[in-house]
Structure formats: structure tokens, C-alpha cells
Amino acid sequence: MKVTINDVAKHAGVSIKTVSRVTNKEPSVRQATIDKVNKAIAELNYQPNVAARNLASTSSYVIGFIYDNSNAYYVIDMQNGILSSCRDKGFELLIHPCNSRSENICQELTSMVKQSRLAGLVLTPPMSEDPNILAALDSINANYVRIIAGENSDSEDALTVLVNDQHGATAITEHLIELGHQHIGFISGDQQHESTIERFNGFKLALEKHQLEVKPEWILQGQYSFESGVNCANQMLELAYKPTAIVACNDEIAAGALFAARLAGLDIPKQLSIVGFEDSPFSRQTLPKLTTVHQPNIEIAKVATDLLIDKHRKTLKHNTKVFTPEPVIRDSTQAPC
């Protein structure tokens, strides 16, 4: 016979509501009560039915993660961070990939929130930076947290996790300048991502601070992909007057640029220094390993989900958290020869 919540409550000597509060990991339950209920659960081998719990309860215990990002490493890190928070707090995760450029994206997301009875959504770029999507979610009073590039939130009330990409880009560019590089190129990511703009602004700020020229022919618009890094690096290497270092908007682009440079016969880093951004596995799989900027995506996702669940439970203390990425120096940079 299947063990029910009633059996657990009777075995532990508590009410059904108390068992529910413990299994849902609600706050303000005494540790002694938690231990008693968990002991009964273990002894009876009770397995809560998550779907039934979500349907029967007046509250939801499902967090949605929506994304439109071709970088599998980023998506996996986000997923792992969200899962960590959900497991800690007794929630489940619904993953929903989508096309942010679709004409029906707003309807798709609002329908998903309603049909799945979500407790909230974790929004990553570019959806977290799209005013139309945010307005659509606000129109149905959806609970969401945004992960966005920047240093300051544009709303005091919105749940926001900020990643100070400009600081990271400035710091990694200054690393190259401190090595002695004065001729530095830049390969951007997709323009619809605010992180692209923030990282370029940080790059430009470092050059201007040190009174170095921002040469237009060394600034190439790319996409967040390995292939884009290859193509843009090839364009840069065909120039008569070449940079001695390249700042790539992420590690995937940097890995592509490094691949193209090595095919062209260049010694990295003796003849060309290359840096990335994010400290993804791409940065550790190249030869040489990439100097990059560490962005703790798993922690970022966990903190964002913690904020979301705290708001859902009405225990929220802070609306905003800021992460500041910092350089990680490896083997792809050295002083120019």
C-alpha cells in the first residue's frame, strides 16, 4: 500500500499541515519538528507527489527557467544554479527554451505561466532585457527575476541580479595594457544582448583612460559563437596594420579567434594575445588556455532563484544583488614582442 501524507502525520504525531510545511521547506518551522517529520518520512519511505502537491495547494512550487542562448555551457550553469536553489527550498524546475525573436513570444510566455501555475520565472538575456516581454509578464502579475548586465537596477521594485560586465571588460583590457599592449582589437557578441554593449563600453573606457586610440577597423561586430570568432579574427588578421591583442566578448568567440590565429601560423601569445569573458569550459579547453574574466554563473542563477522564491514566500529582504566579474590570468596573454 502506498504511504500517504496522512500516514506520515500520524507516525510523527503532527498535523497534515505540519508535514506539508516541512516537505515544502517553508520557513518558521522548528528544527525539532523538522527532524521528527523527516524521521517519519525516512522510516515510512514516503515519496511526495510533486504534481499533486502543486495542483492541490493554493501556492505553486514550480520555478520556470526560460532561455534563448546557443551557449550550452551557460545554459547548463544556469540550470544547475536554479536547481540548487529549488532543491534547497522544496521547489521543482520547469525548463523552457524559446525563440526570443518570435512574434508570439509574449503570448507563449504568458500562456506558459498560467497553464503551469508557476511560482515565478528566472529570466536571462535577451528576454530579461526585452521591455515587451517584461510588460506582458507584468500584465498577468507574473513573478519573475531578471539576470541582466549592468551595475545599477532600472527599477527599485523589480527583482534583479546584476552582472557588472563593464567592470570586467575594463579590468581585462587594463591587464593587456599593463603588459604593454597599445594596439588592441575587440570582437563583439550579438547586439541584442546588453552584455555586448556593457563589455564594449568597458573595453573603450580602459583605452580612453590610458589615452589609447580606439581604431574602428579593429572593432568587429560578431555573435556569441566559435564560428564568429574564427571569421572576425580572420578579418582582423588580413589587415595591413594588425592589433597585438584581441578582447573577445566571450570565451567561445575567443576560442574561435585563437583557432584562426593558430591556423594562420601565429604563436599565441608571443605574436598575439587573446582574452575572453565568462570563464566557461571553452577557456580551459584551448591551447594555450585563455586568460578570461570569471563570471560565476551557477552562483548567479542560485542567488536569482533564492530571491524569486523568497518573494513568492513573502520573506524577501533585498530586491537586488550585484556580481562583479574579475580577470583570471592564464596562458594566452603576455607582453608584446
Sheet holding 62-67, edge to edge: 92-97, 62-67, 120-123, 144-149, 159-163, 320-323
Residue in this structure with the C-alpha cell 537586488, named with its chain if needed: 320
Query: What is this structure's pTM?
Result: 0.81
Cα 264 to Cα 45, 234, 258, 260: the distances in Å are 62, 8, 10, 6
Residues whose CB is less than 8 angstroms from the CB of residue 240 and which lie 6 or more positions away in sequence, other chains included: none
3-state secondary structure of 309: helix
pLDDT at 82: 96
3-state secondary structure of 34: helix
Cell of 109: 510566455
pLDDT at 32: 80
Q: Smallest Cα–Cα separation from 215: which of 225, 199, 204?
A: 204
Along the 337 residues of the chain, how does pLDDT read in single tens digits?
677 777 777 777 877 677 767 776 776 778 888 787 788 777 777 776 655 454 444 467 889 999 887 788 899 999 999 999 998 888 889 998 988 888 899 999 999 888 878 899 999 999 999 999 999 999 999 999 999 999 887 777 789 999 999 999 999 999 999 999 999 999 999 988 999 999 999 999 999 999 998 999 999 999 999 999 999 999 999 999 999 999 999 999 999 999 999 999 999 999 999 999 999 998 999 999 999 999 999 999 999 999 999 998 888 888 899 999 999 999 999 999 8
CA angle 39, 43, 48 (to 5 degrees): 80
Residues whose CB is less than 8 angstroms from the CB of residue 254 and which lie 6 or more positions away in sequence, other chains included: 229, 246, 248, 274, 275, 276, 277, 282, 283, 286, 290, 292, 332
Beta strands 92-97; 144-149: pairing state = unpaired
3-state secondary structure of 174: helix
Cell of 75: 545554459
pLDDT at 45: 77
Cα 319 to Cα 9, 123, 129, 141, 151: the distances in Å are 36, 15, 17, 17, 14
CA dihedral 63, 135, 323, 83 (to 10 degrees): 10
d(CA 147, CA 62): 19
Residue in this structure with the C-alpha cell 519511505, named with its chain if needed: 45
pLDDT at 55: 43
Q: Measure CA of the first residue to CA of the last residue in the chain; give whole Å.
A: 76
Q: Please compute, for residue 182, the number of CA atoms within 13 A of its CA located in the half-sphere on the CB side.
A: 5
Contact 163, 134 (CB under 8 A): no
pLDDT at 275: 98
Catalogue all structural domains in the chain, each as residue range(s) with its CATH number.
5-48 (1.10.260.40), 62-164+296-325 (3.40.50.2300), 165-295 (3.40.50.2300)
Phi, psi angle pair for 60, to nearest 5°: -100, 150
